[in-house]
Amino acid sequence: MRVLVTGGAGYIGSHTVRRLLEAGHEVIVYDNLSRGHREAVAGVPLVEGDIRDGELLRSTLARYGCRGILHFAALSLVGESVRDPQAYYLNNVGGGLTLLQAALHCGVPYFVFSSSAAVYGEPHEMPIREDFSLEPANPYGETKMVLEKALASYSRAYNFRAISLRYFNAAGASSAGDIGEDHDPETHLIPLVLRAIMTGEELTVFGDDYPTPDGTAVRDYIHVEDLAAAHVLALEALERGSPTAAYNLGTGRGYSVLEVIRAAEKVTGKKVPYRIGPRRPGDPAVLVASAEKAMAELGWQPRYTELEDIIATAWQWHRRRPRGFKG
């Protein structure tokens, strides 16, 4: 299928572009390069544009005759969304609705949406299932929830179907070692742990007084290539007639911050310099996915089930490109 991938030059987008191409799909990347990297999609047609630019979206979809859209382009930092919710609503909700308007205008029937575990807020029961109530605890999660709801309503009214994929903690890098995570500023745990190892810069562990076995927060780390594979399966499921739905993507296993540090030390053979600091506002204690639904309905199976294997791919990337794509 010929597909438009918004945010295709970003971290999860670029790994998915590669997987789509491997599966024989035709890809046009649409990215404003505000956070993405041209080099991450070298050799792939790239339209440099913003998702709030309805005219450019319509002309691009029409020009290439796209049948599907994979929508990654979004702002995605929880803390930033608390400080500047307007940017998140304008970009993620406003831009998302503009993209949907263009999709309907051009008769694009299939849509795969980057959603997030952040739509759940902080459930008290683990693992998290898709039928849990959506109670986002920050503006970022709110924007993802609003777009999911728009997708559900639009698909009841129009000739259009969508799959929302609720990612838990994306991690790792391509097994080939040539693309990986490169955020500026970096806020995610695994790249910061590896940076601490490489530079000696001390990592701050955000809180050791959570109600978890070692007191540090627990997350479900899912390899970026496993996320990428799920997008291709979702697109193909839509093409076969699957209805609009939402799926969790995680491994079903949680690791604490200290367990991540220990695993990174094992992979690299080096010590992580760290200190314990206060909690980061808005961080839930535990987020672990039930991904049974994606496994049963999409036929998805994460290939990376061990944290050390995930970290090893990230280590390969960061060692090769310590300054990211710019280096």
Q: Which of residues 263-282 bind ligand UFG (CB under 6 A)?
A: 280
- Closest residue to ligand UFG, based on beta-carbon distance: 217
Q: Which of residues 37-56 bind ligand UFG (CB under 6 A)?
A: none
Give the C-alpha separation, 35 to 117, whole Å: 21
Give the C-alpha separation, 205 to 197, whole Å: 14
Per-residue x/- mask for ligand UFG, residues 77 to 96, rule CB under 6 A?
Answer: -x------------------
Give the C-alpha separation, 95 to 53, whole Å: 8
Single out the residue of 51, 287, 291, 314 in contact with ligand UFG (rule: CB under 6 A): 287
Asked whether the CA dihedral 267, 269, 273, 276 is positive or negative, the reply is positive
- Segment lying near ligand UFG (by CB under 6 A), choices 31-39, 176-184, 198-206, 299-307: 198-206
Is 122 one of the binding residues for ligand UFG (CB under 6 A)?
no
Closest residue by Cα to residue 30 from 54, 49, 11, 16: 49
Is 188 one of the binding residues for ligand UFG (CB under 6 A)?
yes
- Angstrom distances, CA of residue 35 to CA of 10, 206, 228: 7, 25, 19
Q: What single DSSP character describes residue 94?
A: I
Give the C-alpha separation, 8 to 307, whole Å: 25
Question: Hey, which residues are catalytic here?
Answer: 140
Token representation of residue 140: 């970022």
Single out the residue of 168, 247, 255, 317 in contact with ligand UFG (rule: CB under 6 A): 168
Smallest gap, in angstroms, from Cβ of residue 118 to ligand UFG? 3
Smallest gap, in angstroms, from Cβ of residue 116 to ligand UFG? 4
Nearer residue to ligand UFG within complex by CB, 38 or 188: 188
- Segment lying near ligand UFG (by CB under 6 A), choices 55-63, 87-95, 113-121, 152-160: 113-121
Closest residue by Cα to residue 54 from 1, 9, 89, 94: 94
Smallest gap, in angstroms, from Cβ of residue 119 to ligand UFG? 9
Is 204 one of the binding residues for ligand UFG (CB under 6 A)?
yes
Angle between helices 189-199 and 307-320 (to 10 degrees): 50
Phi-psi region of 241 (alpha: psi -120 to 50; beta: other; left: phi over 0): left
Give the C-alpha separation, 45 to 52, whole Å: 20
Nearer residue to ligand UFG within complex by CB, 188 or 270: 188
Is 116 one of the binding residues for ligand UFG (CB under 6 A)?
yes
Is 290 one of the binding residues for ligand UFG (CB under 6 A)?
no
Single out the residue of 20, 44, 147, 217 in contact with ligand UFG (rule: CB under 6 A): 217
Single out the residue of 3, 93, 257, 312 in contact with ligand UFG (rule: CB under 6 A): 257
Single out the residue of 283, 292, 297, 309 in contact with ligand UFG (rule: CB under 6 A): 283
Smallest gap, in angstroms, from Cβ of residue 218 to ligand UFG? 8
Nearer residue to ligand UFG within complex by CB, 46 or 287: 287
- Angstrom distances, CA of residue 202 to CA of 147, 196, 310, 314: 38, 6, 22, 19
Q: Of all helices (H) and strands (E), which one includes residue 275?
A: strand 274-277
The DSSP code sequence of 30-64 is EE--SSS-GGGGTTS-EEE--TT-HHHHHHHHHHH
Please give the residue ranges that form the binding site for ligand UFG (CB under 6 A).
Answer: 76, 78, 116-118, 168-169, 187-189, 192, 203-206, 217, 219, 257, 280, 283, 287
